[in-house]
Amino acid sequence: MTEATATAERLVRRFAREANLLVAGREFSVVGTDAVADALRELLPALGARFGDGGVVFAPSESPEIRLNGRPLPPRDTAAARVDAAGAHMPVSTDLARRLRDAGTVRGVRIGIAMVLEPKTAQLALLLRDAGATVAVYAHPDEIDVSVADVLRARGIPVDGDPEISGAVERAAAVSFLRRGFDLLLDDGSHLIRLAHEEGLASSLRGAAEETTSGLTPLRLMEREGVLDIAVIAVNDAPMKTSFDNRYGTGQSCVFAIADALDAVGIGIRDQPAVVIGYGPVGEGVAAHLSALGARVRVTETDPVRALRAAHDGYDIGRLEDLAPGALVVSATGVPHTIGAAALRAARIVAVAGGVPHEVDVDLSSLRPYVTEGGATSPFLERAGEGAVLIARGGCVNLAAAEGNPIEIMDLSFAVQLAAVEQLLTSALPPGVHSFPAAADTAIAVAALAVSGERIDERSPAQVEAQREWRSPRFRGAMA
């Protein structure tokens, strides 16, 4: 990798890190004709960016400088500034919350939010509060930004969460949160939905919304076994969530977090062998971003359809035991025990994208700091025994080693959450897992396009009329 290419990659990652904004779909312009500018012009389209006169301007030969909409990147040096910056880039969620407020839909409704607590989640809580709901937030010990929690408390929203607790104390804290009494739960991983059922507290809930694939799997099992007592909206299955949050948001944030952690000790991704485990929407995004940064990506899958899709996207596919030796291995399954001891010994580097507890089978007591021969270290890198370098202790790398998904991506996901709240409160849904309404999904897409000033085609009257006719046009006029 040339120094110019490395500098270009660092500039793009710096923009994403300092602004917590998305690269894909954004308009960029590059000033200059030096090697770094040329490398930027090659890298940005590979990451899904577009070139234009506005948006983000890279001027690599001038300091280097990054400008957003004609101005330097806004400061985000405090938790309050990060929360406010998130709010400034969440127009779709803001409009939906305003609609809920004007209609009085959530006035007086008690809503519990159990998600990773970072600036975008804080904005979701504030939007619901400002729309008239009574809101409280629960954050698991490994999913709480303490400074963001303090911002929410200062703004009048209770937050239950302590990074120092675990085990029985953690469970007791979660039960105590549920006993606050809620009408709705907005969950990530369905941990509190399931706990409410275990503790006999589900009967007081009017419903819930679930954000993740890994959270919906046990809820559907509960439905099949007849023990799911409430209506749950499958937020994760909405195209406006999965197609963007999982692929573009998690793809960018996880791969950039991995690259930042490795760059600190002089390890680059370009030209390195990489293995993506799982080729669902998260795996697709991780593979695409690793490829854009120059890694030699291969994919392992247990689902034959997804394996074939990976092959048709140009990736070699195979078995983990054959692909792992000497590679950067990224799990994108959201399934416990994905990376076992053998793969952990064989791989060069291991990370988890998305993630659930125990996705990597590792004894945390066996981890030791990773130090290069030159003495370079990173707080996110440890050696697993005599095996791989493990990033972020096998936790969700974009949260443990970065700030989570870009703001605009979470704007779309939280717009789906807000629309799910509306559906739960305005529809008489029986217990079970329910699809997110297609019309609501389309409305969110239309709103997002309007914000960005994009225009799309409409069907002509002739097209509309043709779709109202069931008879085959092939045989029209050929009646015997």
Per-residue pLDDT tens for 247-261? Answer: 999 999 999 999 999
Q: What is the pLDDT of residue 133?
A: 98
Whether 476 shows a pLDDT value over 60: the answer reads: yes
Q: 258-307: per-residue pLDDT in tens?
A: 999 999 999 999 999 999 999 999 999 999 999 999 999 999 999 999 99
User: Which superfamily is assigned to 79-237+406-449 in CATH?
Assistant: Adenosylhomocysteinase-like (3.40.50.1480)
**pLDDT surpassing 60 at residue 210:** yes
Question: HSE on the CB side for 209, CA within 13 Å?
Answer: 27
**338-386: per-residue pLDDT in tens?**
999 999 999 999 999 988 889 999 988 889 999 998 888 999 999 998 8
Helices 119-130, 146-154: inter-axial angle, 10-degree rounding: 20
Predicted TM-score (pTM) of this structure: 0.93
The encoded tokens of residue 278 equal 């799982």
What pLDDT does residue 386 have? Answer: 86
CB burial class (10 A; 0-12, 13-18, 19+) of residue 52?
exposed
Q: What's the pLDDT score for residue 480?
A: 55
Q: From CA 128, how far away is CA 111, in angstroms rounded?
A: 8
301 or 452: which carries more pLDDT confidence?
301
Q: What is the mean pLDDT of residues 4-27?
A: 95
Give the Cα separation of 321 and 302 in Å (integer): 13
What's the token pair of residue 38? 């040329």
Q: Determine the Cα–Cα distance for residues 403 and 86; give it in Å rounded to an integer.
A: 11
Chain length of the chain? 480
The order of strands in the sheet holding 231-234 is 159-160, 134-138, 110-114, 184-187, 207-210, 231-234, 432-435
At 475 the pLDDT is 79
Give pLDDT, residue 55.
82
Give the Cα separation of 226 and 218 in Å (integer): 12
Query: Is residue 454's pLDDT more than 90?
Result: no
Is the separation of the CB atoms in 216 and 234 below 8 Å? yes
Q: 244: buried, middle or exposed (CB in 10 Å: 19+, 13-18, 0-12)? A: buried
Query: What pLDDT, on a 0 to 100 scale, did the predictor assign at position 479?
Result: 57
Separation of alpha carbons 372 and 388, rounded Å: 14
Two structure tokens written together for 4: 């110019």
DSSP letters spanning 239-265: HHHIIIIIIIIHHHHHHHHHHHHHHTT
pLDDT at 62 (0 to 100): 63
Give rounded-to-5 percent helix, strand, coil for the chain: 45, 20, 35
pLDDT at 152: 98
- Give the pLDDT confidence score for residue 160 in this predicted structure: 97
* Secondary structure class of 67 (helix, strand, coil): strand
Distance in angstroms (rounded) separating the CA atoms of residues 32 and 208: 52
**Confidence at residue 366, expressed as pLDDT on a 0 to 100 scale:** 87
Which CATH superfamily hosts domain 250-400?
NAD(P)-binding Rossmann-like Domain (3.40.50.720)
Q: Above 70 in pLDDT, residue 333?
A: yes
Q: Tell me the pLDDT band of 65, cut-offs 50, 70 and 90.
A: confident
Which regions of the chain carry the CATH code 3.40.50.720?
Answer: 250-400
Q: pLDDT of 408-437, one tens digit each?
A: 999 999 999 999 999 999 999 999 999 999
First to last CA, the chain: 71
- pLDDT at position 199 over 90: yes
* CATH 3.40.50.1480 placement within the chain: 79-237+406-449
Residue 372 CB partners (closer than 8 Å, separation 6+): 265, 266
Average pLDDT over the chain reads 94
Return d(Cα 456, Cα 444) in angstroms, integer: 15
Structure tokens at 265: 């000790």
Average pLDDT over residues 306-326: 98
Rounded-to-integer distance, Cα 346 and Cα 256, Å: 23
Flag whether pLDDT at 61 surpasses 80: no
